[in-house]
């Protein structure tokens, strides 16, 4: 058999070819227009292909050509700031080729192959280099040095290497055995890139969102799931993380989501400044946008494309954060293709291998020792869109079984415009134990204790609320009424955070600590004042407390907060004398 | 090009016809079927192989037998488009329904429509004033948005859709909208209601109607919205019009989709709807927006009725994941005699942030909207509590909020079907109503807006 066959059947994005030599996951070109596809099943001499573009108008009998390669991404300098579709075609190039509507059959290089980069060797002639080792540096953007690595499994004794200006396809290094290397390399997306070992997670990914950093922290190299019904703020949360988290690089995958939302991201990111480096956010970002109406098979591939790019930068020793919004759309793409293949369905029509695929994907996260001996990490944050907001469905469950952090979004909170609408009672993070030491060393020695105190108060509030539902708050003893008031302060002042507000959107971890302490200081002062005879109403209504709470929207709050707390404590103490 | 006529039908099942021994047939190709009594029906290829071709027949398979002739038309489904479409009424398959002549095509457009490159979109940011306070203040609509109305049977969603169509305008300019109206399986009575209203207000001259009624073939409903959107895309992106697409009722569309899925013996997803319904709906809803280099825009207003008022039903659920928010109609408010009975609590406009503020509406809009919403939400919650413990058990703050929730419904939500409130009027009304609450409880209002707009501080 040869590497060319004929189309036998077409059913939506699934095409069957006959008379073709094919192996699983080979990339093929389908029909006279040469649409890109991937072999996903073999039946005797029939090869079943998922096609990454619309198949209308294709006929049986047209030719199918097997390229013999597996679905791969191009890796090299030029990736950053790019915006790709699910199979790494840059959307701006597609616009040039096709106009504003996506037609089909167009191939595009992942980045400019002609662009000249200045290459600085890091090894010398005669050195022995192995796979994963860095041979040289290229300044890719103002903030990111792109490290040119030997393809895993390759290497040798360096015969020649020079600094100079090269494009990505020119040879930068030759080896004694006659082989050579370029800056551009390919890697199959469904194969994880190798590393030496995984480390335990001991450094938090600081996000600037109070509820996340303080109550449910995520570790660098960890994985988090954000399930929530529509309108509960998954996308806003994901975008805030992409903007403000202290990862050095961000890969943002818009998987089967809204076109206008992607446009918003595309419009906004180039103007946003990374709070950690002061440079435009876009310079540390790779974006993948495969909206809901773009071909379903490319949606299936998009998460793999994204994580492979993330792994490549991890291997250079960077901390990478990967956002996938939404993994449910990815799962649905698998379901759609599975049903076209007439596979026996598992739960709710999803293929039986759904949870395996989810687990494999999240397992590509982690903090590792790279082949080059450096420390790099990928933190994966996956949004989940459970139908009807009910997380007993297979995608949510498959995700929760594997991730260590669960940020449960709640429609009820969203309806009260409590944002981020993360439910503090059912969310969890399994990382605090391993991260506490970092918080003690870098923020404050009593950081973990403050966290426990805050979450304890919220827990007590939820119990008291049940009683209030029955008897009203006035029937509670005053100390419990105070607890309710303190919990309300935690919710409205601390947990709520406006992701669109210029100041409030990002909250420094040290400021978070000060704000938490301010709440506890209020509680203590109020208790003391009331013990000396002050009225609850007077204590909670001191004007300086609302000043303190509103103040978080002002610039420079971190410098004024201590003074404001003092004023508040003084006013509370004064309520005793008024009586 | 038209090919030969085949008489090789093997099976007919529901809306599907199966035939074999054909020459290669393209996926998605249009099919013409000639029945033995001379009737012509149309269909489209759903699955094609050397051995078997599956055709979905739009007009239903009644009277099709194994002797019926099948001709493959060599092309995918196209709609003849030109500016002559404006002012016309067409049926669910794009044929004139108003007795007028056929549309003379300036071009033939593929009705499936290509996806817009996300990089080529322009961000929507032009505020559309609908004149309805609940929408303008709390779920502001933007040109280029897709904002469905989640309703249920027996609720006045049609009145609201018409009021929006009548009153929608940009505050910044006086550009008018062209309305593309797409009816899928609605009753003749509802259709006449829409048509009469459009005619009376003169809007019909600036509208294109695609009409598939309840007694028209169900399968035709699969293509009706695609025809409407193809016409809309042509008018918006070739002819620079601003187009408002209203389609009703999405629930009937999804049921037609389920019918075909069942006939093909596909593995069903939730409640029997096909697993690809999300993608299918996205291919309709995502045909809204603005694109670089073109002046026109498409704004979508899909109406869907939630079976059993259940917002977690797959149809509203999947829609909500694709559309940029939703306007939810409440039976409770309707029964309380409030029009428009919009429940702002589960309603949402995702693009609101981009279209409100100093430059477009008013500087205090965001702050006011958040505070109105929060106060109403808390007031509503207190109603449940009061039912158990009585009003006396409430503290002062709660009493004020409780009272506010009633005022909100009576004064803010309630307006007449022909009352067109400007955004200024709406926001001033908000301040008047909120002034019944002590300022210290209005924590979401920036102090500078309180100083500037609170009735106590204005002359």
Q: How far apart are CA B293 and CA B301, in angstroms?
A: 24
Q: What percent of chain B has pLDDT over 70?
A: 98
Residue B175: predicted pLDDT: 75
3-state secondary structure string, B206-268? HEEEEEEECCCCCHHHHCHHHHHHHHHHHHHHCCCCEEEEEEECHHHHHHHHHHHHHHCCCCE
Contact A472 B312 (CB under 8 A): no
C-alpha pair distances (Å), A306 with each of A72, A192, A331, A334, A461: 11, 12, 15, 17, 42
For residue B2, what pLDDT is reported? 55
Interface check A256 vs B, CB under 8 A: yes
B240: number of Cβ within 10 Å: 12
- Our CA-based measurement puts residue A460 at a distance from the nearest CA of chain B, in whole angstroms, of 20
pLDDT at A159 over 60: yes
pLDDT digits (tens, 9 = 90+) for A469-506: 777 777 889 999 999 999 999 999 999 998 888 889 89
Q: Does A390 touch chain B (CB under 8 A)?
A: yes
Chain A CB contacts of B267 under 8 Å are 339, 342, 345, 349
Tens-place pLDDT, residues A187-223: 999 999 999 999 999 999 999 999 999 999 999 999 9
Q: Output the pLDDT for position A240.
A: 87
Q: What is the pLDDT of residues B158-187, one digit of tens each?
A: 999 989 988 888 876 767 789 999 999 999
Cα–Cα distance measured from residue A209 to residue A494, given in angstroms and rounded to the nearest whole number:
10
Residues A481 and A534: their CA atoms lie apart, in Å, by 14
Q: What is the DSSP letter of B139?
A: S
A559 touches chain B (CB under 8 A): no
CB B141 within 8 A of CB B126: no
DSSP character for A151? P
Q: Which uninterrupted H or E stretch holds B200?
A: helix B188-200
pLDDT of A579 reads 62
* Structural contact between residues B143 and B243, judged by C-beta atoms closer than 8 angstroms: no
Contacts of A464 in chain B (CB under 8 A): none
Instruction: Please give the pLDDT value at position B1.
Output: 45
Which token pair is A530?
A: 């009331």
Mean pLDDT on A174-178: 93
**Residues above pLDDT 70, as percent of chain A:** 99
Spatial contact of B135 and B351, defined as CB atoms under 8 Å apart: no
- A vs B, Cβ pairs < 8 A, gives 223
| Chain A, window 61-120: residues with a beta carbon less than 8 angstroms from a chain B beta carbon | 61-62, 83, 91-92, 94-95, 98-103
Q: Is A501 on the interface with B (CB under 8 A)?
A: no
Comparing alpha-carbon positions, the chain B residue that sits nearest to A554 is B446
Q: Measured between CB atoms, which of B50, B120, B237 is closest to A95?
A: B120
Buried b (16+ CB within 10 A) or exposed e, A553-562: eeeebeeebe
Cα Rg of chain B, angstroms: 25
Q: What are phi and psi of A46, to 5 degrees?
A: -95, 135
Question: B316 pLDDT exceeds 60?
Answer: yes
Q: State chain B's mean pLDDT as an integer.
A: 91
Mutate to test the interface with A, among B115, B345, B447 (most CBs of A within 10 A): B115
Contact between A514 and A493 under an 8 Å Cβ cutoff? The reply is no
With CB atoms and an 8 Å threshold, state whether A11 touches B27: yes
Strands (DSSP E) contained in B50-193 are 53-57, 69-76, 78-81, 89-91, 107-110, 121-122, 127-129, 141-142, 149-151, 169-170, 177-186
Render pLDDT for A362-398 as a digit per residue (tens, 0 to 9): 999 999 999 999 999 999 999 999 887 888 999 999 9
Chain B residues near residue A95 by CB distance under 8 angstroms:
117, 119-120, 292
B370 contacts in A (CB within 8 Å)? 417
CA dihedral over A389, A390, A392, A394, signed as positive or negative: negative
Say whether B112 and A472 touch across the interface (CB within 8 A). Answer: no
Interface of A with B in 187-246 (CB under 8 A): 229-231
**B345, closest residue in chain A (CA to CA):** A415
- pLDDT tens digits along A68-105: 889 999 999 999 999 999 999 999 999 998 889 988 87
Condensed to tens digits (0 to 9), the pLDDT of residues A410-453 reads 988 887 778 899 999 999 999 999 999 999 999 999 999 999 99
Q: Residue B148 and residue B144: Cα distance in Å, rounded?
A: 13
- Pick A387's closest partner by Cβ from B314, B374, B395: B314
Q: Let me know: does B141 contact A83? Beta carbons within 8 Å.
A: no
Hey, is the C-beta of A264 within 8 angstroms of any chain B C-beta? yes
* CB atoms B395 and A474 under 8 Å: yes
Token look-up 């008013």 returns B362
Chain B nearest CA to A398, separation (Å):
18
Q: Is A57 on the interface with B (CB under 8 A)?
A: yes
Q: State how beta strands A26-30 and A83-84 pair.
A: unpaired
> Contact, B52 vs B45, CB < 8 A?
no
Which residues does chain A have within 8 Å of residue B121's beta carbon, measured at their own beta carbons? 100, 259-260, 262-263
pLDDT tens digits, A253-305: 999 888 888 888 888 887 888 877 888 888 999 999 999 988 888 999 999 99
Quick one: tokens of B380?
């509503």
Residues of B in contact with A546 (CB under 8 A): 440, 443
- Rounded to two decimals, the pTM is 0.90
The DSSP annotation for A368-406 comes to EE-TTS-EEEEEEEEEE--GGG-TTSHHHHHHHTT-SEE
Between CA A87 and CA A85 the distance in angstroms is 6
CA atoms within a 13 Å half-sphere pointing along the CA-CB vector of B339:
13
Which residues make Cβ contacts (< 8 Å) with residue B179, sequence separation at least 6? Answer: B165, B198, B203, B206, B207, B208, B243, B244, B245, B246
Do strands A249-255 and A319-325 pair parallel, antiparallel, or not at all (unpaired)? parallel
Q: Strand, coil or helix: what is A484?
A: helix
ipTM score of complex: 0.84
- Work out the burial of residue A289: count CB atoms within 10 Å of its CB; fewer than 13 is exposed, 13-18 middle, 19 or more buried: buried
pLDDT at B287: 94
- The nearest alpha carbon in chain B to A91 belongs to B119
Q: Name the 3-class secondary structure at B360.
A: coil
Three-state DSSP at B37 gives: coil
Interval B200-257: pLDDT, tens: 888 888 999 999 999 988 888 999 999 999 999 999 999 999 999 999 889 999 999 9
Note the pLDDT tens digit of each residue in A108-140. Answer: 899 999 999 999 999 999 999 999 999 999 999
* B114/A54 CB distance under 8 A: yes
CB contact under 8 A, B279 and A9: no
Cα–Cα dist A402/A363, whole Å: 8
pLDDT level of residue A578 (50, 70, 90 thresholds): low
Q: How many Å apart are CA A312 and CA A187, to the nearest integer?
A: 9
Closest CA to B14 of B215, B263, B258: B263
Measured in degrees and rounded to the nearest 5, phi and psi for residue A350 equal: -70, 150
Distance in Å, alpha carbon of B199 to nearest chain A alpha carbon: 33
Q: Specify whether the CB–CB gap between A314 and A370 falls below 8 A.
A: yes
Rounded Cα distance between A357 and A307, Å, is 13
């Amino acid at each position: 058999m040869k590497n060319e066959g004929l189309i036998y059947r077409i059913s939506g994005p699934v095409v069957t070819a006959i008379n073709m030599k094919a192996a699983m996951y080979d990339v093929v070109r389908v029909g006279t227009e040469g649409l890109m596809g991937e072999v996903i099943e073999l039946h005797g001499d029939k090869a079943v292909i998922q096609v990454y573009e619309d198949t209308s108008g294709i006929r049986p009998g047209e030719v199918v050509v097997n390229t013999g390669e597996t679905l791969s991404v191009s890796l090299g300098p030029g990736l950053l700031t790019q915006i790709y579709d699910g199979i790494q075609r840059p959307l701006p190039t597609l616009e040039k080729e096709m106009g504003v509507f996506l037609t089909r059959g167009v191939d595009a290089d992942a980045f400019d192959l002609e662009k000249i980069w200045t290459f600085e060797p890091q090894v010398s002639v005669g050195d022995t280099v192995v796979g994963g080792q860095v041979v040289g540096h290229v300044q890719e953007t103002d903030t990111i040095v792109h490290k040119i690595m030997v393809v895993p499994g390759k290497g040798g004794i360096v015969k020649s290497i020079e600094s100079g200006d090269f494009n990505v396809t020119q040879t930068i290094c030759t080896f004694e055995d006659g082989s050579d290397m370029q800056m551009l390399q390919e890697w199959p997306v469904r194969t994880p890139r190798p590393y030496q070992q995984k480390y335990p997670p001991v450094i938090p990914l600081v996000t600037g969102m109070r509820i996340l950093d303080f109550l449910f922290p995520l570790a660098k190299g960890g994985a988090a799931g954000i399930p929530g019904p529509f309108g509960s703020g998954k996308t806003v949360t994901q975008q805030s993380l992409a903007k403000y988290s202290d990862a050095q690089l961000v890969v943002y995958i818009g998987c089967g989501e809204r076109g206008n939302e992607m446009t918003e991201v595309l419009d906004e990111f180039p103007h946003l400044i990374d709070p950690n480096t002061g440079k435009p956010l876009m310079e540390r970002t790779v974006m993948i946008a495969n909206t809901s109406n773009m071909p379903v098979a490319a949606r299936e591939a998009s998460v793999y494309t994204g994580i492979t790019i993330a792994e490549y930068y991890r291997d250079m020793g960077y901390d990478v954060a990967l956002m996938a919004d939404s993994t449910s759309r990815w799962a649905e793409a698998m379901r759609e293709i599975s049903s076209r293949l007439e596979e026996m369905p598992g739960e709710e029509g999803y293929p039986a291998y759904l949870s395996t695929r989810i687990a494999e994907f999240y397992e590509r996260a982690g903090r590792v020792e790279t082949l080059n001996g450096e420390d790099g990490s990928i933190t994966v944050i996956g949004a989940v869109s459970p139908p009807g907001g009910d997380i007993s469905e297979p995608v949510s469950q498959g995700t929760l079984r594997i991730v260590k952090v669960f940020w449960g979004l709640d429609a009820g909170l969203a309806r009260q415009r409590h944002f981020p609408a993360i439910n503090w009672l059912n969310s969890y993070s399994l990382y605090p134990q391993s991260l506490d030491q970092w918080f003690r060393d870098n923020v404050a020695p009593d950081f973990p204790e403050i966290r426990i105190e805050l979450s304890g108060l919220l827990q007590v509030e939820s119990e008291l609320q049940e009683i209030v539902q029955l008897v009203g708050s006035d029937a509670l003893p005053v100390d419990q009424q105070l607890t309710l008031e303190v919990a309300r302060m935690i919710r409205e002042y601390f947990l709520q955070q406006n992701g669109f507000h210029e100041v409030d959107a990002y909250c420094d971890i040290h400021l978070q600590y000060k704000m938490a302490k301010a709440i506890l200081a209020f509680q203590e002062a109020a208790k003391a004042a009331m013990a000396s005879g002050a009225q609850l109403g007077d204590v909670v209504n001191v004007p300086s407390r609302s000043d303190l709470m509103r103040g978080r929207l002002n610039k420079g709050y971190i410098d004024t907060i201590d003074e404001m707390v003092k004023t508040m404590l003084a006013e509370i103490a004064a309520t005793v004398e008024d009586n | 090009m038209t090919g030969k006529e085949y008489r090789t039908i093997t099976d007919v099942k529901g809306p599907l016809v199966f035939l074999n021994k054909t020459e290669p047939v393209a996926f998605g190709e249009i099919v013409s079927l000639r029945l033995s009594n001379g009737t012509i029906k149309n269909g489209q290829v759903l699955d094609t192989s050397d051995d078997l071709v599956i055709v979905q027949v739009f007009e239903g398979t009644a009277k099709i037998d194994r002797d019926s002739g099948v001709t493959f038309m060599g092309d995918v489904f196209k709609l003849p488009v030109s500016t002559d479409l404006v002012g016309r009424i067409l049926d669910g398959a794009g044929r004139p329904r108003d007795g007028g002549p056929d549309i003379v095509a300036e071009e033939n457009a593929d009705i499936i429509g290509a996806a817009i490159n996300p990089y080529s979109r322009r961000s929507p940011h032009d505020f559309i004033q609908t004149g309805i306070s609940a929408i303008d203040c709390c779920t502001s609509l933007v040109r280029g948005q897709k904002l469905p109305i989640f309703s249920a049977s027996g609720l006045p969603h049609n009145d609201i859709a018409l009021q929006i169509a009548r009153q929608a305008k940009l505050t910044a300019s006086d550009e008018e909208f062209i309305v593309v109206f797409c009816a899928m399986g609605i009753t003749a009575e509802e259709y006449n209601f829409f048509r009469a209203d459009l005619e009376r207000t003169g809007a019909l001259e600036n509208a294109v109607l695609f009409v598939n009624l309840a007694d028209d073939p169900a399968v035709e409903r699969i293509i009706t919205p695609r025809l409407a959107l193809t016409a809309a895309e042509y008018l918006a992106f070739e002819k620079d019009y601003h187009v408002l697409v209203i389609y009703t009722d999405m629930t009937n569309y999804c049921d037609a989709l389920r019918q075909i899925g069942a006939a093909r013996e596909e593995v069903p997803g939730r409640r029997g709807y096909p697993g690809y319904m999300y993608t299918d709906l996205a291919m309709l809803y995502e045909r809204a927006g603005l694109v670089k280099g073109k002046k026109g825009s498409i704004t979508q207003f899909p109406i869907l009725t939630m079976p059993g008022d259940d917002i977690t039903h797959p149809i509203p659920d999947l829609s909500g994941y694709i559309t940029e928010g939703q306007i939810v109609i409440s039976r409770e408010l309707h029964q309380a005699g409030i029009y428009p009975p919009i429940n702002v609590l589960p309603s949402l406009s995702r693009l609101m942030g981009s279209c409100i503020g100093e430059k477009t509406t008013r500087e205090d809009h965001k702050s006011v909207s958040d505070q109105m919403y929060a106060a109403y939400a808390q007031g509503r919650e207190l109603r449940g509590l009061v039912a158990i413990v009585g009003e006396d058990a409430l503290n002062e703050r709660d009493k004020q909020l409780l009272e506010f929730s009633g005022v909100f419904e009576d004064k803010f939500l309630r307006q007449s079907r022909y009352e067109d409130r400007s955004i200024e009027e709406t926001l001033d009304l908000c301040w008047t109503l909120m002034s019944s609450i002590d300022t210290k409880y209005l924590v979401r209002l920036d102090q500078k807006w309180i100083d500037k707009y609170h009735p106590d501080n204005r002359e």
